[in-house]
């Protein structure tokens, strides 16, 4: 790790001003992505601003027909929250499947969403549930937020404060983990609300998380696993690596979608 200055603000306003004071400051949430990167000397922020003591970022609340999760809520807390398990069990299950227990005890939803790793789980949930990302400056719809691998709509110095999830009628997430890293090699989040069906795919594409229009159309016509059978998944811009070529990932998208639909139907 390279040397850096360490700051521990207690309000979002202080975070904002600390960011302003350092050229190359980084926010530290759970540190489960940032610290490994810094340890390998792949990142060298001049300052690290610890969000761990900032007030108001750690609540899980029900607001109207939405579940609102603070940016600093740990994966383990989403996984075990009664509120989330009741309203969006698929989201709790997703959080409970991120990394391992120790990672879940530190990693946060804000950090995961801000990072937008192409193999991360949360982005699929945000897209498929039509979530809204709330920052210190504005509200951003998930569809506008994720802009390709490790790229988001966040401006420099913009801080995620919470994520708001509309409660779906049915939803499920099925993940095919990379055998080595256990990140998603393909993860498919399916949700249904009224006649609307959303299918978001993570892990597969060179462009990061995306919504699969073809699968959505098929499932809007009929929401069952059979409807997905034979729907072609375009893998032309999919990731190919030693663990899975694009065509294998395309197959997995189809299979995971079927399984997610079956799960969403409670079968």
Partner 1 sequence: MISVSMTVNGKAVSAKIDPRTLLVQFLRENLLLTGTHVGCDTSQCGACVVHVDGKAIKSCTTLAATCDGASVVTIEGLAHDGALHPMQEAFRENHGLQCGFCTPGMIMSAIDIVNRKGHDLDEHTIREELEGNICRCTGYHNIVKSVAAGAHAMAPK
Partner 2 sequence: MSATGIGAPVRRKEDFRFITGKGQYTDDINRPGQTHAAFLRSPHAHATIKKLDISQAQQAEGVIAVLTGDDLAKDGIGGLICGWMIHSKDGSPMKAGSHPALAQGKVRYVGDHIAVVIAETLSQARDAVEKIHVDYELLKPVIDMAHATDSGSPVIHDVSPNNQVYDWHLGDKGATESAFAKAKHVTRLDIVNNRLIPNAMEPRAAIGDYDSGQDAFTLYTTSQNPHVARLVLSAFIGIAPEHKLRVIAPDVGGGFGSKIFIYAEETVCVWAAKKVGRPVKWTGDRTEAFLADAHGRDHITHAEMAMDDKGHILGLRVKTKANLGAYLSTFSSCVPTYLYAPLLSGQYNIPAIYVEVEGLYTNTAPVDAYRGAGRPEATFVIERMVEVAAREMGQDPAAFRRRNFIKSFPHQTPVIMAYDTGNYGASMDLALEMADYKNFGKRKRDSAKKGMLRGIGFSAYIEACGIAPSAAVGSLGAGVGLWESAEVRVNPVGTVEVLTGSHSHGQGHETTFAQLVSDRLGISIDQVAIVHGDTDKVQFGMGTYGSRSGAVGMSAISKALDKVVAKAKKVAAYALEASEGDIEFKDGRFSVAGTDRSLAFGEVALQAYIAHKFSGQELEPGLKEGAFYDPTNFTFPSGVHICELEIDPDTGVTRIDRWTAVDDFGNIINPMIVEGQVHGGIAQGVGQALLEGAHYDANGQLVTASYMDYCMPRADDLPSFDIGMTTTPCTTNPLGIKGCGEAGAIAAPPAVINAITDALGHEQIAMPASPQAVWRAAQKSLHKLAAE
Ligand X SMILES: Cc1cc2nc3c(=O)[nH]c(=O)nc-3n(C[C@H](O)[C@H](O)[C@H](O)COP(=O)(O)OP(=O)(O)OC[C@H]3O[C@@H](n4cnc5c(N)ncnc54)[C@H](O)[C@@H]3O)c2cc1C
Q: Which residues bind ligand X (CB under 6 A)?
A: 26-34, 36, 51, 71, 98-99, 103, 106-108, 110-112, 114-115, 117, 120-122, 159-160, 182-183
The DSSP 8-state label assigned to residue 170 in this structure reads E
Note the Cα 220 to chain centre separation in Å. Answer: 24
Which residue number, 166 or 177, has a Cβ lying nearer to partner 2?
177
45 binds partner 1 (CB under 8 A): no
1 binds partner 1 (CB under 8 A): yes
Angstrom distance (rounded) from CA 45 to CA 83: 37
C-beta of 13: minimal distance to partner 1 in Å? 21
Which residue number, 185 or 246, has a Cβ lying nearer to ligand X?
185
Q: Which does 223 bind (CB under 5 to 8 A by kind): ligand X, partner 1, partner 2, none?
A: none
Angstrom distance (rounded) from CA 190 to CA 176: 14
Contact 63, 18 (CB under 8 A): no
Angstrom distance (rounded) from CA 156 to CA 151: 12
5 binds partner 2 (CB under 8 A): no
181 binds partner 2 (CB under 8 A): yes
Task: Give the Cβ contact number of residue 189 at 10 Å.
Answer: 32
Angstrom distance (rounded) from CA 222 to CA 214: 13
6 binds partner 1 (CB under 8 A): yes
52 binds partner 1 (CB under 8 A): yes
Angstrom distance (rounded) from CA 35 to CA 42: 10
Q: Provide the binding-site residues for partner 2, judged by CB under 8 A.
A: 1-3, 40-41, 176, 179-181, 242-245, 248, 251-252, 255
């Amino acid at each position: 790790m390279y040397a850096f200055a360490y700051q521990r603000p207690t309000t979002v306003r202080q975070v904002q001003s600390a960011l302003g004071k350092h050229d190359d400051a980084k926010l530290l949430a759970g540190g489960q992505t940032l610290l490994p990167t810094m340890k390998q000397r792949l990142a060298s922020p001049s300052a690290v601003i610890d969000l761990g003591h900032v007030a108001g970022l750690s609540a899980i609340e029900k607001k109207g027909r939405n579940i609102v999760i603070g940016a600093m809520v740990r994966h383990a807390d989403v996984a075990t929250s009664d509120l989330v398990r009741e309203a969006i069990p698929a989201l709790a299950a997703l959080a409970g499947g991120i990394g391992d227990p120790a990672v879940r005890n530190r990693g946060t939803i804000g950090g995961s969403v801000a990072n937008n790793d192409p193999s991360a789980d949360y982005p699929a949930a945000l897209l498929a549930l039509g979530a809204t990302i709330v920052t210190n400056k504005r509200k951003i719809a998930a569809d506008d937020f994720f802009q390709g691998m490790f790229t988001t709509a966040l401006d420099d110095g913009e801080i995620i404060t919470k994520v708001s999830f509309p409660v779906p009628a049915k939803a499920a997430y099925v993940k095919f983990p990379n055998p080595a890293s256990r990140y998603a090699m393909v993860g498919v989040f399916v949700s249904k609300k009224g006649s609307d069906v959303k299918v978001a795919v993570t892990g597969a594409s060179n462009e990061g998380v995306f919504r699969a229009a073809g699968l959505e159309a098929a499932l809007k016509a009929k929401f069952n696993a059979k409807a997905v059978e034979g729907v072609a998944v375009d893998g032309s811009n999919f990731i190919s690596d030693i663990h899975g070529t694009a065509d294998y990932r395309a197959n997995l998208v189809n299979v995971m979608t079927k399984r997610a639909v079956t799960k969403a139907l409670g079968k």
